[in-house]
A and B are shown apart, each in its own frame.
Chain A
């Protein structure tokens, strides 16, 4: 079972985290420190910032997030379907894939028609 050793994935991810922490903490020892009132202020091309940046944001970004959610889940469904189809290509499976993708395309056409992709 050495070819499916998922412990590697965990170890690599954890070591990646640790390495990044260590990497970003070395300058704390090596770097100089300086003080100043303006030093830690938010950068805005030399002007003082007005208010916080945590404000309401344009809704069209969230619409994209919503259609992405629908599409991404459906793409995940497509992955196993496509794999089994490629191993044994049956005509009925092709029909099912076409219907599935057709529904996906309909969703896309609906969003297109509703004007999500044209920003105002």
Chain B
């Protein structure tokens, strides 16, 4: 009975957090982009325009859902759902504080990667089911990019597993009590952030949804809340990958003065900010450049990094 209550409570908190967090992140994105381009961004609705995205979400609620004439109806309906459903599961293992974790599974790291790897199935389904050439191109590019960058993502996190001696995210955080792993594994951090950017389809790796050439790619044909749910899942994946980056490299909830969860959220939102900062700095890459960058640069570098870490462990054994 107690367990049931715990499940329901955590579900409610996570769903609420996912919705509010994505709205806040959209607001933050608009503000950051505006400041970088010397604009002001949303101003009027609420405090500093903070309620602007809530208003947009309400508007989206009143939009008609369209089934395009030529689409594959079942897949078209399922695609946004499949891209959103794994989002909640990824929150299970993220250690927000010292003991603030819903289920501290011993395969936590793998679970997060598994759940975030599921999302691009939804994206590809959306691209295929729309029966639109833009969407198909977007879906194809998305799959090629996601599978290419999945490997450096896993390889760079292997270094951390080797140093923390565990897959459990809270153990990894505990291993960084004195020195965060970013200082010991800077190369792995750079590889991880780059691949995480690509995994969540953010600029400079956003060819699946390149607005100017593919008219938003895989969600060209989607309208209303179906489109909105793609948006929510994209922004939540950004947040999840910054949470994982925080737990793996930035020392998680460790920090002086403030309590653990405050430090964790601060670091996670800082990583989110860096992701947005990168987005509004760098231009979009060409499709083939992007995929070959993963295979020619990131994967050799991360293989090299693994061997270096293994050697260092061997040398420091005594």
Contacts and interface: CB of A to CB of B under 8 A. Distances in A.
Interface in A61-120: 61, 64-65, 67-68, 71-72, 75, 78-79, 82-83, 85-87, 89, 91, 94, 97-98, 101, 104-105, 108, 111-112, 116-119
Given A27-B63, A41-B68, A11 B11 contact: yes
Interface residues of A, number: 71
Contacts of A13: 85-86, 88-89
Contact of A34 (B64, B155, B229, B292): B64
Contact of B292 (A16, A83, A98, A118): A118
A105 B305 CA distance: 13
Interface in A12-65: 12-13, 15-17, 19-21, 23-24, 26-28, 30-34, 39-45, 49, 52-54, 57-58, 60-61, 64-65
Contacts of A104: 303
Classify chain B: how many residues form its interface, as a range: 35 or more
A94 B310 CA distance: 7
A9 to B, nearest CB: 6
A62 B292 CA distance: 14
A27 B67 CA distance: 13
Contacts, number: 216
A26 to B, nearest CB: 6
Contact of A83 (B70, B103, B165, B291): B165
Contact of B307 (A3, A41, A83, A98): A98
Interface in B135-160: 135-136, 140, 143-144, 147-148, 150-151, 154-155, 158
A3 B103 contact: yes
A26 B61 contact: yes
Contacts of B69: 40-42
Given A79-B158, A79-B161, A86-B165, A117 B62 contact: no
A31 B65 contact: yes
B162 interface: yes
Nearest to A51: B133
Contacts of A12: 11, 14, 88-89, 91-92
B64 A33 contact: yes
Contacts of A52: 70, 131
Contacts of A44: 132-134
B140 A61 contact: yes
Contacts of A67: 295
B221 A43 contact: yes
Which 8 residue pairs of A and B lie closest in terms of their CB atoms, listed nearest first? A16-B85, A68-B147, A20-B81, A16-B88, A119-B288, A117-B292, A20-B84, A40-B69
Given A20-B80, A79-B154, A82-B162, 11 more contacts: A5-B3, A11-B7, A31-B224, A32-B62, A43-B68, A43-B220, A58-B140, A83-B162, A86-B161, A98-B307, A119-B288
26 contacts: A12-B11, A12-B91, A16-B89, A19-B88, A20-B84, A24-B225, A27-B224, A30-B62, A31-B61, A31-B224, A32-B62, A42-B131, A52-B131, A53-B130, A54-B128, A54-B136, A61-B143, A68-B147, A72-B147, A75-B154, A79-B110, A79-B161, A89-B317, A101-B303, A118-B288, A118-B292
Interface of A: 2-9, 11-13, 15-17, 19-21, 23-24, 26-28, 30-34, 39-45, 49, 52-54, 57-58, 60-61, 64-65, 67-68, 71-72, 75, 78-79, 82-83, 85-87, 89, 91, 94, 97-98, 101, 104-105, 108, 111-112, 116-119
